[in-house]
Structure 1
Amino acid sequence: MRTCLPIALAALLAATAAQAQEQRIDAPAGRAGEAAAAIARQTGTSIVIAEPDLAARSVPAIRGHYTAGEAVRRLARAIGARPVAAGGSGWRLVPDPRPAQARRTLARPPARRAAPVAQPPPGIGKTPIIVQASKRDMRLRDYAGQITILDGSSLSLGGPVGTDRIADRVASVTSTYLGSGRNKLFIRGIADSSFTGPTQATVGQYFGDLRLSYNSPDPDLRLSDMEKVEVLEGPQGTLYGAGSLGGIIRLVPNEPEPGVTSLSGGIGGSATQHGAPGADLGAVANLPLAGERATLRLVFDAETQGGYIDKPLLGESDVNRTRIYGGRAFARLDAGGGWTVDLIGLGQRTEGADSQYADREGEDLTRSARVTEGFDAGYVQGQLVVTGELGAIRLRSSTGVVHQELEERYDATRPDDPTRLFVQHNDSRMIANETRLWQPMEGRFGWVLGASFTHNRTRLTRSFEAAEALVTSTGVRNSVDEVTLYGEASYRLRAGLVATAGGRVTRSELGGEGEDVDRMLALMRAEVTAERHETVFLPSLSLTASALADTSFYIKYQEGFRPGGLAIDGEFVRRFRSDRTATFELGARHGRQGSGPFDLATSLAFTRWRDIQADFIDPLGLPTTANIGDGQVWTATVSGGVAVARGLRLEGGLSWNRSRIDSPRTLASTEIGQVPNIARVNARAGFDYQRSLGDGLVLTAQGWARYVGKSRLGIGPELGEEQGDYLDSALTVRVGRERIGLSLGVTNILDAEGNRFALGTPFEVGREQITPLRPRTVRLGLDLAF
């Protein structure tokens, strides 16, 4: 006993000395519980957050050189808590009943060398939410527009997920359902077509600061080890340029943690009713390479999704098994003086064994095809990002290379004819750079100024495979070179009133040519493939008023565009023009999303859409693209949440759309008066629940239900099938500690069949084809962290 006392005293003194020393702290933005874990690992201390609702609150990044006590006080201040010492090397964060002003005065640490953090304006005792997708670190209260920020750990609760989880959480986000790696995403009522063709997407998708693709489908990257996902609604042409007519989705990965060695992962197995089993495996490793100067973060995912569609004519069942393999490496070098260099590589491979659509008239979940359909999708991206500070001005330069491939196979067998398979191959390559300077709006004025260059080339080829021959069909190549200058600035006219204006000038050089085109037809239409150029100016204006500390109103005008290109039309190629949107929007926000007593966000937008690019069926029965005319779209959205009890929060969202094509220019567009693939009403409701079970055990539960209203498949009488009008649902429960836990998840709780998408193969339009929901699936998983 006497020998134990000196040892204990020595340990206590050593721990106290360690706490008194400044250390490099790097806790990424996210949930307070995750930030506490990061600070504890880096300081060798213990940090416990007493209340689940405190642990679930969002906090900004905490980076710099601090003592352990100073880092804990910063975290406590961010969530409105009070740190209580627990032993010689630990703290317990408990709710602080004192007024916000008193908390800021008592908890403010002395100034330290750290990354700049925006300070809350006078009278607000909460750490402000920063909209990083604004490209200038703008406070949410000053941002004019609707944005949803999804917490990364919440998205990945219960196993690996892709873009479907974003659509499940945001009522205004919808998708086609051809299969993982080949879908098109839509935000609000801005949708063009059901097919993957030469048109650029209406939603801009970004990984960090670099776009994922130009005119290729959603790669459906796994949302593993994400800090957050930002969804910006409405055109974002001024800051993001072409292809953001409906909005943008920005994936923000967790950054490497300097000086920390960690390993975490999970494994799960699933069982699908009426189908085959599945499995998944994932791992995340954080490895220091040179002390705190260089760090590597590795992510790996593998998943197999059991099939559930039967093909009786082939004597096969559960044919549509899908395998997904992917990962990324994120290396960061701290170059000193506030400068960092990031090198990021990511890739994913998706293999769909067969189609996931069924016959409406046959037995449930069956397809009367005599061929094996399916698809293969591959995606690779590399990034080099340099970030630094020039006094009060910040700089970031992002350079990236992208290669994306998609091969799709469709049943093209005619009645009473031998089997025939249609194969379409889309190969896209992109090189892009964006460099920008910005000054955050910490006083009355903030701005961003940037330049970008994008080169994209896409090759679309087609062929028919039959038992007796291989017939090559007409193909097309499109290329675009874009050079852009953009800028935006905000000025605080008075307390609570911010005006913002910006503009973007883009010069596009367009080129392309047909492949395997009849020589005589090519000569007749030689002018179609001639190179051409266009210059576009996209302005934006907005005004934001903060009537109360937690309430903002805004009015906004924004434009977007997509360049033209070449499309296959029967046996030759023809040109389609660029299209453009102009949107007026009114909106309001109250509270902070996911925290506080309640939060509410609502908007009303009107969009004028000119020269709409859309797809329909050509005389040969193949998808083609044309400008179908002008149209207009009205959209109203509302979302919010309320804390109904300790640890329990309810949330919901509603999106209403009304569209009309009022100046049709093709025969196909005269058959429809609305934009395709967009339901009049989408709605969702959900809950988040956390409860301490004692002894470090925490129960976490999430559940949601989503209704997707009726919509129409596409343009023209051949694509007039209705789809939608179904209810989907899911529930996930996890029980465990921070470093180990068991989870149980159930999707499609009601085992509804539904019809997510009324297209399987374009060669059987006019027949009843449906894409059913995945039947009820139960997953059991285990997660570990070291």
Structure 2
Amino acid sequence: MSPTPLVSELLVTATKRVEIASRLPASISAVSADELSMTGVTDATGVVRLTAGMTITNLGAGRDKIMLRGLSDGAFTGRTRSTVGTFLDDTPITYNAPDPDLRLTDVASIEVVRGPQGALYGAGSISGVYRIVTRKPELDQLQASLRGLAAWTQSGSPSQQVDAMVNLPLVDGRAALRVVGYYDLEGGYLDDVNLRLSNVDQTTRQGGRAALKTRLAGDWTLTLSTAVQQLDSKDTQYVTGTSGLRRANRVRESHNNDFSQAVIALEGPTPWGGLKSSTAYVRHAFSSKYDASAALSLFDDPIADLGIYEERTHIGMLVQDTVLTSERDGPFKWLVGLYGVSSREDSPSQLKVNATGKTFRNVYDDVRTDRLGEVALYGEMSLAFGQGWTVALGGRESETRLNTTSHVTVTGGGTSRAFNRKAVFDNWSPKLSLQYVFENGVMIYGLASQGYRAGGFNSGGLSTPTAARRTFRPDHLRNLEIGAKASLLDDRLDLKSTVFYELWRDIQTDQFFASGLPYTANVGDGRNVGLELEATWRPNANWSFQTNLLLDQPKITRVDPAFASRVQSHLPGVPDTSFGALVAYSRPLRPGLTLILTGQTAYVGRSRLTFDPALSPEMGGYFTGRLSAQVKADRWRLAAFVENPGNTQGDTFAYGNPFSFGQVRQVTPQRPRTISLVLTRDF
């Protein structure tokens, strides 16, 4: 019997064409659907254990921020564009928003490309790309599956999940419909002693996808697809001080994150090459509520004793990406693409206060709108020459236009004002790689690439922003890396390693004033040097061992005088060391029935939360773990998982509320020991 594959020769499309992952001159991880199923991974947090160089904040579902290769612009999410480009198939699903935390249901693979991808993906991929590749409709197969989960958390509320999928051929070989739906209730485990509520941090996630694929004349295909998800968290998941799993807030700090998209994709051959066009509309709406009582003295309201801050964001984004690629055969390959996006972001925020026995009234309002348009022309060409050598050259020329309007009303100690500014940002992002494949299949490569993010404006705060604070500049990251990929010992040992050196200029960062209100600034320049390693060993048909490692040293090399007088030397929010390991054992119990045992562990090293050494609590330095036992047949699978078997409470994220941050120690503990049972049935 063959073992369940952990790392296979996966085909990836993160380079805008179908390629074998082990032959790409890039640091890329591809997590297969089989691996996701075997490890019980259903979200980005689970992917972190399976890939090198990937970390994620732990503010809560729908609030988190993905980071790659130790490149952190800070732990907070605000006006800066994401450092990691997050994609659902070919569509970007975030701009400057937190990760919508889409559930990984019925996906073909997860692709993680580390290092700046500005040449192909433009702004927002300054540290890499995280891409969810969904399963597409099968034109000639009737398929269906059902999955259910029940889980119990020590000292917390129970959880449950239900997933369903059906693939329905409509016209044999010509058209098919694939529909996916899911419901996920994650029970809470934190108690609020002030509100006298238990397990306050419950999260509900529900959504689905539908795709209609039609084969047209001449090998052309047209796919119409949509995806929706609603995520609702009843409260945040941090505690204060050393209070274990308890805290004392005065209001529920709820969060909602709703995502939807509609896509028209057309693909087929032309006389010049393969054409793929994707037109998408993305709607992303999210909101958060915070207890702002600890900062009321700064709002010049001496009688108020309760403050509630609410921020809401609604983003509508129209995206067009068209790419033409050469035929795969031959030593010379090329692609050329045209990209455009038009978006509008409405982000009103307000702080309202209350004195005992009085009604709520607003003391701060900021009604802001950002309109953005971007066009880009990009391309890449590669040439295989000599005995095993390949050189590739690419680049992207883009223009970004931004218009920001804002109306700020302050009734306490501050200044009401209006704001209207426009800006244009041009950028060129080049890429150059050279690779060599030995006769035994071992590949080595060198890569130089660049990423960037456009600049923007600050309009909020109690007072009119100073000239130095009114704008933030674009930032750029230059990357040099050398890597090697090999399959040894009759393909029983797979190795991938990368050494990188990166220079980051004018780093953008989202921060908070003393009032708890957000702003964005350029902190200065930085650099990072490190090593990424992934290895899989399959000694026989029963055992498989997988490990990944990141060692890096992210540093601040120059501090911008307009940002702060003192800045700690490390980039915040990312550890110098992180690793993960997975052990799997499988054996047949009888014909058609297989036992699978797995054990996972991961370590997240210590790091500091912020750039400010005076407000930079230490976090990290903890292990995570998961154990599972599964019985798998042709059409069903029964699995039991134990998450956090040691029931440890490491500080995963030393932050939770901007209005009390710096006044009390904020800690986000790991979820307590959780036992779950999963039953999957294919029809």
TM range (shorter): over 0.9
**What residue is the counterpart of 2:590 in the other structure?**
694
Alignment match, 2:191: 310
**Aligned equivalent of 2:345:** 458
Structure 1 residues 23-42: Cα deviation after superposition (integer angstroms, max 9, x where no partner): xxxxxxxxxxxxxxxxxxxx
Out of 414, 423, 432, the residue aligned to residue 294 of structure 2 is 414
- Give, in whole Å, the separation in 1 of the partners of 2:178 and 2:613: 51
- Paired residue for 1:556? 447
Q: Give the Cα–Cα distance (whole angstroms) in 2 for the partners of residues 669 and 452 of structure 1.
A: 41
Bigger radius of gyration among the two: 1
Asked whether the equivalents of residues 21 and 30 of structure 2 are also in contact (C-alpha less than 8 Å), the reply is: no
CA shift, 1:489, in A, is 0.4
Task: Classify 1:286/1:129 alpha carbon distance in 2 versus 1 (closer, same or farther; 3 Å).
Answer: closer
Q: Point out which structure has higher relative CO (alpha carbons under 8 A, 6+ apart).
A: 2
Matches within 5 A, 1:609-688: 609-665=504-560, 666-668=562-564, 670-688=566-584
Partner of 1:432: 319
Question: How far apart in 2 are the matches of 1:220 and 1:716?
Answer: 29
2:15 is the counterpart of 1:134: yes
2:481 is matched with which residue? Answer: 585
Kept in 2, the 8 Å contact 1:653–1:685? The answer is yes
1:45-93 Cα offsets, whole Å, 9 max, x none, are: xxxxxx233x63878xxxxxxxxxxxxxxxxxxxxxxxxxxxxxxxxxx
Which letter maps to 2:320? N
Q: Does 1:771 align with 2:668?
A: yes
Call closer, same or farther: CA 1:352–1:332 in 2, change over 3 Å. Answer: same
- Amino acid in the other structure paired with 1:456: S
- The partner residue of 2:211 within 307, 324, 330 is 330
Q: Distance in 2 between matches of 1:484 and 1:340?
A: 25
* Aligned CA distance change for structure 1 residues 423 and 365 (closer, same or farther; 3 Å): same
> 1:299 and 2:180 equivalent?
yes
Gaps of 5+ in 2: 297-303
Residue of structure 2 equivalent to 1:203: 84
Other structure's SS at 1:239 match:
helix
CA–CA distance in structure 2, aligned partners of residues 720 and 607 of structure 1: 24
1:443 is matched with 330
Query: CA–CA distance in 1 between the matches of 2:190 and 2:558?
Result: 41
Q: Does 1:505 align with 2:505?
A: no
SS of match in other structure, 2:478: strand
1:752 aligns with: 648
The match for 1:379 is 259
Match of 1:44 in 2: none
* Structure 1 residues 52-131: aligned runs within 5 Å: 52-53=2-3, 56=5, 129-131=10-12
**Is structure 2 residue 357 aligned with structure 1 residue 477?**
no
The one-letter amino acid paired with 1:615 is: D
Please give the residue correspondences for 1:139-288 in structure 2 after superposition, counting only pairs within 5 Å: 139-157=20-38, 161-288=42-169
Q: Deviations over 1:319-351 (max 9, x none)?
A: 111111011001100113111001110011111
RMSD value over aligned CA atoms? Answer: 2.1
Give CA-to-partner distance per residue, 1:702-752, whole Å, 9 cap, x none.
321000001111222464111111100112222031212211011111111
Name the structure 2 match of 1:605: 500
Contact between 2:508 and 2:521, CA under 8 Å: does it hold in 1? yes
Cα deviations by residue, 1:740-777 (Å, 9 ceiling, x for unpaired): 22110111111110111100101112221101111110
**Unmatched tracts of structure 1, length 5 or more:** 1-50, 60-127
Code of the aligned partner of 2:432 = L
Q: CA deviation at 1:436?
A: 0.6
**Deviation readout 1:542-574 (Å, 9 max, x if unpaired):** 100112332110111000011111234423452
For residue 647 of structure 1, report the CA deviation from its aligned partner.
Answer: 2.3
State the 1:392 CA deviation.
Answer: 7.0
- Secondary structure of 1:165's match? helix
| Preserved CA contact (<8 Å) 1:718 1:765 | no
**Are 2:259 and 2:284, in contact at CA under 8 Å, matched by a contact in 1?**
yes
Counterparts of 2:56 and 2:415, CA distance in 1: 37
Structure 1 partner of 2:300: none
In structure 1, distance between residues paired with 2:6 and 2:555: 42
Given that residues 136 and 440 in structure 1 are in contact (C-alpha distance below 8 angstroms), is that contact kept between their aligned partners in structure 2?
no
1:430-449 deviation per Cα after TM superposition (whole angstroms, max 9, x unaligned): 11000010024422111110
Distance 1:141 1:697, change over 3 A: closer
SS of equivalent to 1:156: helix
Larger deviation: 567-576 or 457-466?
567-576
Aligned-partner Cα distance in 1 for 2:311–2:6: 47
Structure 1 stretch displaced more, 685-694 or 249-258: 685-694
Structure 1: how far apart are the matches of 2:235 and 2:415? Answer: 36
Superposed CA offset, 1:485-510 (max 9, x none): 00100001212110000111001111
- How many angstroms does 1:169 deviate by? 1.0
C-alpha spacing 1:193/1:478, structure 2 compared with 1 (3 Å): farther
Q: Whole-Å Cα distance in 1 between the matches of residues 208 and 515 of structure 2?
A: 40
Larger mean CA deviation between 199-208 and 467-476 belongs to 467-476
Q: Distance in 2 between matches of 1:669 and 1:221?
A: 40
Range 663-672 or range 635-644, more displaced: 663-672
Q: Is the 8 A contact 1:447 1:488 kept in 2?
A: yes
Question: Given that residues 604 and 637 in structure 1 are in contact (C-alpha distance below 8 angstroms), is that contact kept between their aligned partners in structure 2?
Answer: yes
TM-score (norm 1): 0.81
Query: Residues 496 and 274 from structure 1, CA distance in 2 versus in 1: closer, same or farther, beyond 3 angstroms?
Result: same
Instruction: Indicate yes or no: 2:229 matched with 1:342.
Output: no
Question: TM-score, normalization: structure 2?
Answer: 0.93
User: How far apart, CA to CA, are the structure 2 residues paired with 1:552 and 1:389?
Assistant: 31
Look up the SS of the partner of 2:670 in the other structure: coil
User: Quick check: 1:153–1:225 contact (8 Å CA) kept in 2?
Assistant: no
CA deviation string 1:395-449 (max 9, x = no partner): 1000101111111111111389622221111221211000010024422111110
Query: Which letter maps to 2:319?
Result: A
Q: 2:6 touches 2:35 (CA, 8 Å); kept in 1?
A: no
Are the aligned partners of 2:450 and 2:476 in contact in 1 as well (CA < 8 Å)? yes
Q: Measured at CA, do residues 160 and 181 of structure 1 come closer, stay the same or move farther in structure 2, by a change above 3 Å?
A: same
Q: Distance in 2 between matches of 1:475 and 1:620?
A: 18
Secondary structure (helix, strand or coil) at the match of 2:566 reads helix
In the aligned structure 2, how far is the partner of 1:178 from the partner of 1:704?
23
CA contact (8 A) 1:158 1:781 kept: no
CA separation of 1:587 and 1:687: change in aligned 2, threshold 3 A: same
Aligned-partner SS, 1:762 = coil
Name the SS of the counterpart of 2:47 in structure 1: helix
Q: Which SS does the other structure have where 1:153 is aligned?
A: helix
Q: What is the rounded CA distance, in whole Å, between the counterparts of 1:590 and 1:397 in structure 2?
A: 34
Q: 1:776 to 1:58 in 2, by over 3 A?
A: closer
3-state DSSP of counterpart to 1:510: strand
* 2:42 partner letter: V
- The one-letter amino acid paired with 2:2 is P
